[in-house]
Structure 1
Amino acid sequence: MTRHSDTSQCFHCGEHVSQSAAERWSTLIDGQSQPMCCPGCKAIAETIVASGLKDYYKHRTALPELSPAELDDDALQARDSLTLYDSEAMQRRFVAQLGNGMAEATLVIDGISCAACAWLIEHRLNALPGVDQAVLNLSNHRLVVRWIAEQLPVSSLIEQIYRLGYRASPFSATVAEQQRTDEGKRSIRRLAVAGIGMMQVMMLAVPLYVGMAQQYEIFMRLASMVLTLPVVLYAALPFFEAAIRDLKVRHLTMDVPVSLAIILAFCASIWSTFNQGKEVYFDSVCMFTFFLLLGRYLEMRARHRMGKSGNNLLTLLPNVALRLSDDTPTATETVIASEEVKPGDLLLIKPGQAIPADGIVVNGQSSVDEAALTGEYLPVTKRRQDHLIGGTINIESPITMKVTATGAEAQLSTIVRLMDRAQQEKPKIALIADRIASHFVAAVLLIASGVLLFWWWQGNDHAFFIALSVLVVTCPCALSLATPTALTAATGALREAGLLISKGHVLESLPTIDRVVFDKTGTLTQGKLTIEEVVLTGDLDRESILAVAAGLEKSSSHPIARAFRRIRPATVSDVQQQTGAGICGFWHPTAKQSLPVRLGRPDFAVPATAKPDTSHLNQQEGQWLLLSVNEQAVAWIRLGDSVRKSATSLVRGLHQRQIKTALLTGDPGTSGQLLATQLGINDVWIGLSPEQKLQQVRLWQQQGERVLMVGDGINDVPVLAGADIAIAVSDASDLAKTSADALVTSGRLDSLLQALDTASCTRKVIYQNIGWALLYNLLALPVAAAGYIPPWAAAIGMSFSSLLVVSNALRLSRVSKPDAADGPPQV
């Protein structure tokens, strides 16, 4: 049958759609706005249409009657919607190919209420054949799954999550932001209903408590019951839904005792109302629900804040791009959606526009603002063949780029995945806390049952409500939140400072480091020749000298030529290169004038009979080149591999923190010793092979030292892999970045000092959080069991405990950059 638009049904799956959902997720198909029930259906529908398969909706003969969470196994296997996630077009958005047949997907999970939910999802997915690792970040509800692509399709992973009663959708910064907004609005509405109900019921309860309206007691109890109904049936609904879901999969979370407390107190109060019992607790139910919702709302706000930094990276990508038909002045321009950009496309980037994908410059020159990725506020000049990163902003002039990577393969997505991996890998202390929390709920139910039986046996009329207080006050939420909130806040703060942590053990291991080992070229130095000094010996000025040299080197592929790439070249013709000696040609200072010029060794630049004077040259490390015009020496140019400006402050800061330093370099010359002396590094080994570097690190480790290695090249990969912590610099080879535990994205080595200090603070915060959570439960349990805490006060205590943990962790996001001389900040 033909499928037509229906404002009350999802166009894709046929499920009922509320008016607000229809307005939020509707999409254009054949020029008509069609309602969708969720972002998942919207994404699938858009993929079907974009793939040219929109006739699917015209010719399908049946619609699924239930949402994936409600399907039984047979119906779920027959459902064909989830298989659309296996299409290549859909997977470009959220699946990255890691090589060796491995793939990695990032999904956003809806319906998570506590750490037990995260444990259940991880446990179920990790049990699937072909899944290498599934880790869910409780701070941002983001799931990262790594698996063997040939053994398991993406749809099977999502199907397993649906079967557990949770919703999964591909991670998208835009969708994630919309989901956060919707979650916030829903929470505020439920909080408002609970708050208004609490105030109204309290107005009726107070006169009864003080004995001022005994003649109207039945009426006030009935009115309180009616006012409590919206609180229980709407405001507290998330607790009931989560509890039912947990019971279906036979896994306890904190929503089970919370739901029991609400529903039992409400039903007991109804029974007391109609049977003229001594007391009703409608006010306690409303207050209990309100304070629980308030705690979760504030916790949600903190979680959104911590997850925003990573999402903000992906929101840097523009919505549209300008595609060119070819690289000519007469090329036609077409405006397309950023999702349609493919590798190989030519894009025009105008000044002020964001770059929509990774690529290289093929035409033009401009400055690009990369502050969002590197933390450096100064723009970077980009010329032909320079790399561009999606999400950065073109500033000065139009440029044409060729796209090299999009979607999950782009650098922005890679950075976000690395951040997720760092936040999800749990330290040993976090694993202990998770094990405690996973068994805590069952213990709470047993303890509450024992308390109920004890007070019932003692004849206490409040036995039931004492047991409810025990159920509520001993929530393990604070214990479960202790570590993920701290890790998320710390990794976000360090990313903004220019250090991207990609493995979770870094923050745990950094405070224990005894020695930092550096490679030389490309790590402590820039790793490329630059013009360090120009000594004039003729009549030409410095600008003309460099212009002539740049003209000679313009077409050369020699490493020396790269030092002159950013200089505006003079007109030089008939350029010839002599291996091992230099380069020569004819300079045209005017249209009618032509002068022979030479750049290279002194014996090449000038005749042997005219030996140039070198007495005024300093003895600094580097390579001196002589430039001659018409066989007359006009200037000496010194090239060198300059030291990174931040290297000195880094070494000084490490020594102040009582951390040893060492330099291991494969360069057999004297430059390594000179650099170490300049920076104050005492332990220096020169002329080492990669194997010898690794052996030296192993020797230090055998002596009981924990070693951090900083490197950049392929030759550093073995020692990076062997060190306790490996950090690569921003210009490192891809293999070195893969082997590293963290990446310096800003180019500033002294960001390692902030990493050391933040790691120490993070460990303190985690211990503070876990200590508080355990102390709170140990103190609150006996007090509640003794009957001194009413249910509404128990809700306040539980919420306060979780909020204290989250607030303490948020302090890490405000740790300022320390000065090398000041030492670590205090937490």
Structure 2
Amino acid sequence: MSIIVPENACYHCGLPNTEGNKYLVKIKQVDYPMCCPGCYAVASAIVDNGLESYYEFRTELAERGDAALDATMAKLAVYDEPELQEEFVFDQGKHKQIQLTIEGISCAACAWLIEKQLAKLSGIKQIAVNVAARRAMVTWDDKIVQLSGVLKRLKQIGYDGLPFQPDDHEASYKKEQKSYLKKLGLAGIMTMQVMMLAFGQYFDVFGNLEADTIGYFNAVSLLLTTPVVLYSGSVFYLSAIKAFQAYTVNMDVPISVAILATYIAGLLAVNSEGGEVYFESICMFVFFLLVSRFLEHRSRHKAAELSSNMLKLIPVTASKWQEGAWHSVLAKQLRVDDKVMVKAGESIPIDGTIVEGQTTINESMLTGEFAPVLKTVGDPVYAGTINQEGTISLAVSKSIKYAVMNQILRLQEVALSSKPKVAQIADQFSRYFVLAVLLISGLSYAYWHHQGNPDAFWITISILVATCPCALGLATPSALTCAMAHLNKKGILLKRADALEQITLASDIVFDKTGTLTLGEFSIQKMHVNQAQITSCQLFKALYAGKLKTLEDQKQAVLNVAANIEQYSEHPIAKAFSLEQTLSLNVSAVNIVIGKGISAQIDGFECHIGSKALIAEVLVKNSSRSNTQLDTNFTLSDANVYMLVDGVLIAEFCLSDTHQPEAAQLIKQLSQYKLSILSGDEQANVEKVADELGVKYAYGNNTPEQKLQFVKDAQAAGRSLIMLGDGINDAPVLAAADVSVAVGKASDLAKNAADLVLLGFRLNALHDLLNMAKRTKAKIKQNIGWALTYNFIVLPFAISGMLSPWQAALGMSVSSIIVVYNSTRLMK
């Protein structure tokens, strides 16, 4: 019969429970409180293994849970504090997101293991591991699981995870590098010593060696090999153990089997004073493999460093205005609306808006453009960029956590959450390949042992070593990491890794016109006012009673009304109506009709400015009004913007835009694609731009819904589209396109919907992107092709016994190094 647990005591150990309901375990459908994480972990394990009856029939209370776990959880619980999370946790509405530095990652299999295990944790919404950068991007529901729970799960599967901070991450890398060097150095030194003893036996340089002398040499070799196996080789065993704990296999499983089996066989041979020993092969195998891993470690860090080092461009301190003077403070302590001073030559410490002064800013680290940008009062500036000339004061617009540079790096990590299909196939194939290698090795041993071959064991070891698919696991992630680093230098932000693969499949490229192919800097080329209607219009009578005597007066009055209304619009066309001096009017009931225009009321009179489609809709809607009229014989045949006041056509405008400087050259470079312009502008204007640039297909007068339908129809016809846009009205079509690119001064909504963002204003960066996508795909194919070819070529040699274990180790290491080197060529 079960014992009785005192009230307010731990149900597992019976000690006083001071944590309340913090640690609850459901036993027999009833929630019972535990006093600590240790008891919680033990009780959960009992329940998870179907042993709940233990609590029903136990006769005494259990020991308290592991105190070490208590200490670990107490440390991890610190990361649940809101004050601490303020620095590194990003709010994503219902979810939270964090970038973690993961210690102990050695290959793609580690990433797969972490992703699979964390995905099982309740509350995890997304987990993406970047092997190259040794980081993970985790999105979770804080109401279901806390950050400490995520870190605890990582620790349970053998990995330490901490919030990513550049300095700490760099220290972590150096710590791992130092560990690699120690293991590598030990393996190298011992390999030389063991090889000298082995050569002495192979070539009998000491004359006719007696059995006792050979036994002595073997014993010394065993002594020298042991630290190599137990210390230098521990990297592979720990990785294999992590895989077994997750009920899977990885590339380090056959490696570990080969090392330990060869070592144990040699140990038995020394003790029995008979049989073959391959201590030199073990040492060489571990040494070659560690050289390969070390070079991978360095090359991955170098690729990731190009992006992560951008954070080092942000100054640690800033000059803040407080208590009537400038004081030096930590940049991360700055808050929105704080006033900061930046002198000439200094880096800007935080995102903000200039409130005093004028200068030029070097934004090359963000955009790839080295030409300085003129900035004056009201212009935004970004952390990490360099103030080149005058002293400026700025008002902080975002905390350092949400600075553009931080956002860029975070989006790059998010990009790796969607792996290309080729990467998914390679990862899956490598796991099946490991299983196949283990099976082939076992069958080979059985065959050669049955044939009476004394080298059956060593043939099996050679198979395990030679065919380990390390190179296959590196093929895709190494290429993607290097490609992203190169694109980042060019001012191209990749938000979705598989977009690079999708780009190579594209058949069509579709451009928005305004702000994409053109600069979006409109000006009024022609203007016609309906003088008769202005004279009788009640609004103009009320505003300018008796003052509109000349045509110029009337035009100025129309422009003033238009400027007051268009100030509420962010569309590039609205800037054409801005005036240096305007009479401020009482504007209300503003309504922006996306893709068509804007409406508002001035002193109760209804005004509309927009396309012919908007004007027609208004007239149909107000057709019952007696004063509604529209002269269909427009004075300006090329007009594209119209103004209605109280249902009466007041003015017509012809606005034109200038082309992007690189647009014509880019169009020539993209001749192999079907090129189209898809715009909400008048058809005549769209055709004009298309003719000037040499684009064959031009589609104007499109609403956002029509643009979206255009893309869906093309996709239904089997075509793959790349869409370039910049405005709010482009967001739906950018989200629907196979690959979408936000260009230049794109709106935040467009950037959010796009797969890639061109941070600078160089349109020909698209050509760089297309070339890099093709090069990346080629490199991935080359890497996979080489890895598969090597494995399939070497397998027959290993099975036939033509490869010794050390030769197999050398070949496998060289194969991995070739793959990594081939990928790093993308960075040139």
- Aligned-pair distance for 1:752? 0.9
- Counterpart check, 1:271 vs 2:287: no
- Aligned-pair distance for 1:751? 1.0
- Aligned-pair distance for 1:741? 0.9
Candidates 298, 305, 310, aligned match of 1:308? 305
- Aligned-pair distance for 1:232? 2.3
Candidates 669, 681, 686, aligned match of 1:667? 681
SS of 2:783's partner is: helix
SS of 2:79's partner is: helix
Counterpart position of 1:764 = 778
CA-to-aligned-CA distance 1:213-236 (integer Å, 9 cap, x gap): 314323322332232233223322
Candidates 718, 721, 735, aligned match of 2:749? 735
- Aligned-pair distance for 1:500? 1.3
CA-to-aligned-CA distance 1:135-169 (integer Å, 9 cap, x gap): 11222222112223332222211111111111101
- Aligned-pair distance for 1:762? 1.6
Query: Could you say if the C-alpha distance between residues 531 and 378 of structure 1 is closer, same or farther in structure 2, counting changes exceeding 3 Å?
Result: farther
CA-to-aligned-CA distance 1:651-708 (integer Å, 9 cap, x gap): 11112xx112111222227433322222112211222211122223333333332222
- Aligned-pair distance for 1:578? 9.2
- Aligned-pair distance for 1:279? 2.9
CA-to-aligned-CA distance 1:239-290 (integer Å, 9 cap, x gap): 2333344344443222232223222322322332233224322211111111
Please give the residue correspondences for 1:104-503 in structure 2 after superposition, counting only pairs within 5 Å.
104-213=97-206, 214-215=209-210, 216-325=213-322, 331-503=324-496
| Aligned partners of 1:103 and 1:149 also within 8 Å | yes
- Counterpart check, 1:82 vs 2:44: no
| Aligned partners of 1:423 and 1:484 also within 8 Å | no
SS of 1:523's partner is: helix
- Aligned-pair distance for 1:639? 8.8
Counterpart position of 1:710 = 724
| Aligned partners of 1:370 and 1:393 also within 8 Å | yes
Query: Could you say if the C-alpha distance between residues 667 and 123 of structure 1 is closer, same or farther in structure 2, counting changes exceeding 3 Å?
Result: same
- Aligned-pair distance for 1:558? 8.3
| Aligned partners of 1:498 and 1:748 also within 8 Å | no
CA-to-aligned-CA distance 1:158-183 (integer Å, 9 cap, x gap): 11111111110111222222222222
Query: Could you say if the C-alpha distance between residues 436 and 578 of structure 1 is closer, same or farther in structure 2, counting changes exceeding 3 Å?
Result: closer
SS of 2:314's partner is: coil
Letter in 1 for 2:248: H
Letter in 1 for 2:742: A
- Aligned-pair distance for 1:461? 2.4
Letter in 1 for 2:286: T
SS of 2:98's partner is: strand
| Identical residues among aligned pairs (%) | 39
Query: Could you say if the C-alpha distance between residues 229 and 703 of structure 1 is closer, same or farther in structure 2, counting changes exceeding 3 Å?
Result: closer
| Aligned partners of 1:529 and 1:559 also within 8 Å | no
Distance (whole Å) between structure 2 residues aligned to residue 183 and residue 360 of structure 1: 41
| Aligned partners of 1:92 and 1:407 also within 8 Å | no
CA-to-aligned-CA distance 1:466-496 (integer Å, 9 cap, x gap): 2111111111221111111111222221222
SS of 2:820's partner is: helix
Distance (whole Å) between structure 2 residues aligned to residue 671 and residue 753 of structure 1: 25
Letter in 2 for 1:733: S
| Aligned partners of 1:258 and 1:472 also within 8 Å | yes
Please give the residue correspondences for 1:67-106 in structure 2 after superposition, counting only pairs within 5 Å.
76=69, 79-99=73-93, 101-106=94-99
CA-to-aligned-CA distance 1:628-666 (integer Å, 9 cap, x gap): xxxxxxxxxx996332112111111112xx112111222
Distance (whole Å) between structure 2 residues aligned to residue 641 and residue 353 of structure 1: 36
- Aligned-pair distance for 1:754? 1.6
Counterpart position of 2:24 = none
Q: Give aligned pairs, total.
A: 665
SS of 1:105's partner is: strand
Letter in 2 for 1:679: L
Please give the residue correspondences for 1:806-825 in structure 2 after superposition, counting only pairs within 5 Å.
806-814=820-828
| Aligned partners of 2:742 and 2:756 also within 8 Å | yes
Counterpart position of 2:670 = 654
Distance (whole Å) between structure 2 residues aligned to residue 780 and residue 307 of structure 1: 33
SS of 1:666's partner is: coil
CA-to-aligned-CA distance 1:338-394 (integer Å, 9 cap, x gap): 332333322221222222221111222211111111000111122112111111121
Higher mean C-alpha deviation, range 154-163 or range 313-322:
313-322
Distance (whole Å) between structure 1 residues aligned to residue 582 and residue 771 of structure 2: 54
Using the size of structure 2 for normalisation, the TM-score is 0.75
Letter in 2 for 1:85: Y
Q: CA RMSD in A?
A: 3.3
Higher mean C-alpha deviation, range 163-172 or range 509-518:
509-518
Query: Could you say if the C-alpha distance between residues 530 and 349 of structure 1 is closer, same or farther in structure 2, counting changes exceeding 3 Å?
Result: farther
- Counterpart check, 1:644 vs 2:660: yes
- Aligned-pair distance for 1:113? 2.2
Letter in 1 for 2:91: Q
Higher mean C-alpha deviation, range 747-756 or range 216-225:
216-225
Distance (whole Å) between structure 2 residues aligned to residue 245 and residue 705 of structure 1: 44
Using the size of structure 1 for normalisation, the TM-score is 0.75
Distance (whole Å) between structure 2 residues aligned to residue 199 and residue 441 of structure 1: 31
Distance (whole Å) between structure 2 residues aligned to residue 703 and residue 280 of structure 1: 66
Letter in 2 for 1:86: D
| Aligned partners of 1:621 and 1:640 also within 8 Å | no
Distance (whole Å) between structure 2 residues aligned to residue 660 and residue 312 of structure 1: 39
Distance (whole Å) between structure 1 residues aligned to residue 585 and residue 244 of structure 2: 80
Candidates 675, 685, 690, aligned match of 2:699? 685
Larger radius of gyration: 2
Counterpart position of 1:589 = none
Letter in 1 for 2:194: V
Distance (whole Å) between structure 1 residues aligned to residue 762 and residue 525 of structure 2: 20
Distance (whole Å) between structure 2 residues aligned to residue 175 and residue 532 of structure 1: 58
- Counterpart check, 1:791 vs 2:805: yes
Query: Could you say if the C-alpha distance between residues 72 and 265 of structure 1 is closer, same or farther in structure 2, counting changes exceeding 3 Å?
Result: farther
- Counterpart check, 1:719 vs 2:741: no
SS of 1:748's partner is: coil
Distance (whole Å) between structure 1 residues aligned to residue 378 and residue 142 of structure 2: 34
Distance (whole Å) between structure 2 residues aligned to residue 158 and residue 715 of structure 1: 41
- Aligned-pair distance for 1:737? 0.9
Query: Could you say if the C-alpha distance between residues 441 and 228 of structure 1 is closer, same or farther in structure 2, counting changes exceeding 3 Å?
Result: same
Higher mean C-alpha deviation, range 244-253 or range 347-356:
244-253
| Aligned partners of 1:529 and 1:560 also within 8 Å | no
Distance (whole Å) between structure 1 residues aligned to residue 586 and residue 125 of structure 2: 52
Letter in 2 for 1:163: Q
| Aligned partners of 2:127 and 2:136 also within 8 Å | yes
Query: Could you say if the C-alpha distance between residues 532 and 187 of structure 1 is closer, same or farther in structure 2, counting changes exceeding 3 Å?
Result: farther
Query: Could you say if the C-alpha distance between residues 385 and 249 of structure 1 is closer, same or farther in structure 2, counting changes exceeding 3 Å?
Result: same
Counterpart position of 2:817 = 803
Unaligned runs of 5+ in 1: 1-61, 534-548, 567-571, 581-618, 624-637, 815-827
Query: Could you say if the C-alpha distance between residues 109 and 682 of structure 1 is closer, same or farther in structure 2, counting changes exceeding 3 Å?
Result: same
Query: Could you say if the C-alpha distance between residues 520 and 180 of structure 1 is closer, same or farther in structure 2, counting changes exceeding 3 Å?
Result: same
